[in-house]
A and B are shown apart, each in its own frame.
Chain A
Amino acid sequence: MTRFITLLMTFWSQPLYLFLLPAIGLTGLGSSQAEASDVVFWHTMNTEETKTLEAIVKDFEKENPGTKIKIQNVPFSDAQNKYKISAQAGKAPDVLRSEIAWIAEFANLGLLEEIKLSEADQKDFLKVAQSYAFWEGKNYGIPQVTDCLALLYNKRIFREKKVSVPLTMEELAQTGKTLSSPKEKKWALSFNPAGYWAQVFIWSFGGGLIRGEDSSIHIADPESIQGIQFMIDLMQVYGVSPKEMDFVNGYNNMMTGFKQGRYAMIINGPWSTSDALNGDEFKDPENLGVAIIPRGPKGNFSPVGGHSYVVFKGSTVKPEAIKFANFLSETKNQILLAKNHNLLPTRQSAWNSSEVKNLKLISAFKSQLDVATSRPVIPEGGGIYTALDRSVEDALSLNKDAASAMRKVQKQWQKLLKHRKNK
Chain B
Amino acid sequence: MAEAIKAQKKQVGPAGSGWVAWVFLAPAILAMGLTVFYPLIKGIWFSFTDIDQYSMGNAFEAPSYQFIGLENYKEILFSGDSDLLRVLGQTVLWTVVNVSFHFGLGLMFALLLNHGFKGRSLFRLLLMVPWAVPAYVAAFSWRWMFNGDYGLFNQILQNFHMQPINWLSKPFWAMTAAIATNVWLGYPFMMVSILAGLKTIPGALYEAAMLDGASRFQQFRQITLPMLRPVSLSVILLGFVWTFNMFPVIYLVTKGGPYGSTEILATYAYREAFESWNLAEASTYGVIILSILIVLSSIYSRMTKETRV
Contacts and interface: CB of A to CB of B under 8 A. Distances in A.
Query: Are these two chains actual partners, yes or no?
Result: yes
Interface of A: 8, 11-12, 15-17, 19, 81, 84, 87-90, 108-111, 244-249, 253, 256-257, 313-314, 383, 386, 390-391, 393-394, 397, 399-400, 411, 415-416, 419-420, 422-423
Interface string B36-71: 001100100000000111111111111100000000
B169 A247 contact: yes
A393 B149 contact: no
A248 B168 contact: yes
Interface stretch (B8-16, B127-135, B269-277): B269-277
Interface string B164-200: 0011111000000000000000000000000000000
Given A247-B257, A253-B148, A256-B149, 12 more contacts: A16-B42, A84-B53, A88-B57, A244-B169, A245-B166, A248-B253, A253-B150, A383-B276, A386-B275, A397-B259, A419-B54, A419-B278
Contacts of A257: 149
B255 interface: yes
Chain A facing B: main interface SS: helix
Contact of B52 (A15, A89, A246, A419): A419
B148 A16 contact: no
Interface of B: 33-34, 38-39, 42, 51-63, 81, 143, 147-150, 166-170, 253-255, 257-260, 271, 274-278
B254 A244 contact: no
B143 A249 contact: yes
A17 B148 contact: no
Contact of A244 (B147, B166, B278): B166
A30 to B, nearest CB: 16
Nearest to B62: A15
Contacts of A386: 271, 275-276
A108 B55 CA distance: 12
Nearest to B256: A390
23 contacts: A15-B63, A17-B59, A19-B39, A81-B274, A84-B53, A89-B58, A89-B59, A90-B59, A109-B58, A245-B148, A246-B149, A247-B168, A248-B253, A249-B149, A257-B149, A383-B275, A393-B259, A397-B259, A411-B81, A419-B54, A419-B278, A422-B54, A423-B54
Contacts of A313: 60
A108 B60 CA distance: 12
Contact of A391 (B148, B259, B278): B259
A15 B143 contact: no
Contacts of A411: 81
A126 B277 CA distance: 32
Given A19-B39, A397-B259, A419-B54, A383 B277 contact: yes
Contacts of B170: 397
Contact of B51 (A16, A108, A394): A16
A54 B254 CA distance: 37
A111 B259 contact: no
Contacts of A383: 275-277
A423 B277 CA distance: 14
Contacts of B254: 248
A88 B143 contact: no
A16 B42 CA distance: 9
A407 to B, nearest CB: 11
B162 to A, nearest CB: 16
A419 B275 contact: no
Contacts of A393: 169, 257-259
Contact of A17 (B57, B258, B277): B57
Given A17-B59, A383-B277, A393-B257, A109 B149 contact: no
Given A109-B53, A253-B150, A383-B275, A88 B255 contact: no
Nearest to B43: A19
A70 to B, nearest CB: 20
Contacts of A420: 54
B54 A109 contact: yes
B63 to A, nearest CB: 5
Nearest to B149: A253
Nearest to A390: B259
Given A110-B61, A253-B148, A383-B276, A246 B56 contact: no
Given A390-B260, A399-B259, A246 B58 contact: no
B131 to A, nearest CB: 25
A12 B253 CA distance: 38
Given A248-B168, A394-B259, A15 B148 contact: no
A228 to B, nearest CB: 14
Contacts of B257: 247-248, 390, 393
Contacts of B62: 15
A244 B59 CA distance: 48
A390 B268 CA distance: 13
B60 A419 contact: no
A247 B258 contact: yes
A246 to B, nearest CB: 3
A275 to B, nearest CB: 16
B157 to A, nearest CB: 14
Nearest to A89: B59
Interface-centre pick from B62, B148, B259, B277 (highest chain A CB count, 10 A): B259
B166 A19 contact: no
A404 to B, nearest CB: 12
A2 to B, nearest CB: 14
A392 B150 CA distance: 23
Nearest to B260: A390
A408 to B, nearest CB: 9
A81 B272 CA distance: 14
